[in-house]
């Protein structure tokens, strides 16, 4: 009897210890940020560079009302318990409003609520808009050893619901912070508007789709402003660089600013995307013209939908003539 009691007590103690250990494990943060043992705080300068030039992206490039430009940047430093946006998942109401209209109020509320509920957010940062497709903007951000992830969004203007950004980039590498990281950015579709072109009217996607990356062949539709079927991959439309600020540099302006005006020309020369001419379908054949009892001619025409650029395939003939027998001859 005493042996049975001892065995029962031993099992009870082991079970209690197991439940305690599992409970502690469940309380730990999930994801790569759980192993960050770097110093508690680090500051970074974040520099966003727009590379959306007419040379790199000649198809339907917006020149006016409004011209190509970038919205302000809205970002957050956080733990793995929070996600601003994710590829192949549904965009939140806040991300939808930002991607479609550049309105940040709902997204800010979502970030604040996440920070209040589960302390998953360390800080919010923003950078000014860029009034052209090429140019730079910058700001500073602070990460924490328990919040080493960085996410942000920048809206492509004009567009239906397209944006660029980063989802949960970890700046911590074990026991130290990364000194510098630079990432090429490509366009994403928020999945909330079904427009194909930069200037498409508002046409809500019902039901809502997930966030997807826009490529040179997807969406696979000639009307798509990023449709370049001869390319294997789109050139980067933007780039972001984050540089760790040393303690003796705090308070100094961020690097890489105030570039000379000709910097846009340098950006334009990086990628030259050839654009082939696009023409409409042939019209119906016109009336047969000519003298009765002799061979006449009739003509059909087509028109240019898209002018070629950057040594793309030139436009073919826009009219075609063939022989015919005149009708209604007396």
- For 32-62, the pLDDT digits (tens) are 445 899 999 999 999 999 999 999 999 999 9
What is the arithmetic mean of pLDDT over 92-101? 96
DSSP letter (8 states) at residue 35 = G
In a domain, 122, yes or no: yes
Residues 293, 162 share a domain? no
Residues 232, 85 share a domain? yes
Q: Apex CA 145: angle with CA 143 and CA 149, to 5°?
A: 50
Residues 166, 292 share a domain? no
Residues 192, 122 share a domain? yes
Q: Apex CA 86: angle with CA 199 and CA 238, to 5°?
A: 50
Mean pLDDT score across all residues of the chain: 83
In a domain, 254, yes or no: no
Structural domain range at position 210: 42-244
Tell which of 218, 244, 270 closes a domain. Answer: 244
In a domain, 139, yes or no: yes
In a domain, 10, yes or no: no
- Residue 318 belongs to a domain with what CATH number? 2.20.100
Question: How far, rounded to the nearest angstrom, does the alpha carbon of residue 306 sit from its chain's CA centroid?
Answer: 25
Number of folded domains that form the chain: 2
Residues 208, 138 share a domain? yes
Report d(CA 150, CA 117) in Å as an integer: 19
Contact by Cβ (8 Å): 201, 161: no
Structure confidence by residue, pLDDT tens digits, 126-167? 999 999 999 999 999 999 999 999 999 999 999 999 999 999
In a domain, 106, yes or no: yes
Model-level pTM? 0.75
Cβ neighbours of residue 282 closer than 8 Å, sequence gap 6 or more: 300, 301, 302, 320
* Per-residue pLDDT, 101: 93
Structure confidence by residue, pLDDT tens digits, 58-95? 999 999 889 999 999 999 999 999 999 999 999 999 99
């Amino acid at each position: 009897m005493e042996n049975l009691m001892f065995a029962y007590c031993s099992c009870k103690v082991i079970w209690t210890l197991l439940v305690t250990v599992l409970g502690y494990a469940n309380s730990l943060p999930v994801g790569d940020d759980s192993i960050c043992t770097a110093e508690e705080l680090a500051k970074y300068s974040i520099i966003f560079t727009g590379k959306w030039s007419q040379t790199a992206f000649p198809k339907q490039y917006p020149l006016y009302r409004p011209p190509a430009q970038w919205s302000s940047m809205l970002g957050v430093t956080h733990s793995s318990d929070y996600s601003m946006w994710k590829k192949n998942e549904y965009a939140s109401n806040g991300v939808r409003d930002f991607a479609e209209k550049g309105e940040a109020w709902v997204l800010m509320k979502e970030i604040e609520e996440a920070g209040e509920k589960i302390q998953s957010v360390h800080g919010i940062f923003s950078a000014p808009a860029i009034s052209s497709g090429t140019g730079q903007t910058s700001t500073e951000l602070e990460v924490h050893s328990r919040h080493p992830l960085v996410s942000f969004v920048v809206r492509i203007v004009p567009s239906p619901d397209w944006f660029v950004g980063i989802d949960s980039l970890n700046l911590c590498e074990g026991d130290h912070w990364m000194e510098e990281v630079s990432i090429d950015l490509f366009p994403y579709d928020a999945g909330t508007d079904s427009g194909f072109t930069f200037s498409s009217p508002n046409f809500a996607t019902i039901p809502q789709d997930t966030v997807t990356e826009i490529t040179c062949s997807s969406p696979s539709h000639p009307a798509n402003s990023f449709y370049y079927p001869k390319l294997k991959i789109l050139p980067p439309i933007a780039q972001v660089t984050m540089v760790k600020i040393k303690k003796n540099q705090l308070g100094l302006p961020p690097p890489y600013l105030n570039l000379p005006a000709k910097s846009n020309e340098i950006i334009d020369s990086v990628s030259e995307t050839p654009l082939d001419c696009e023409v409409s379908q042939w019209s119906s054949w016109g009336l047969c013209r000519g003298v009765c009892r002799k061979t006449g001619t009739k003509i059909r025409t087509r028109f240019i939908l898209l002018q070629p650029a950057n040594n793309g395939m030139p436009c073919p003939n826009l009219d075609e003539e063939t022989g015919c027998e005149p009708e209604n001859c007396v």
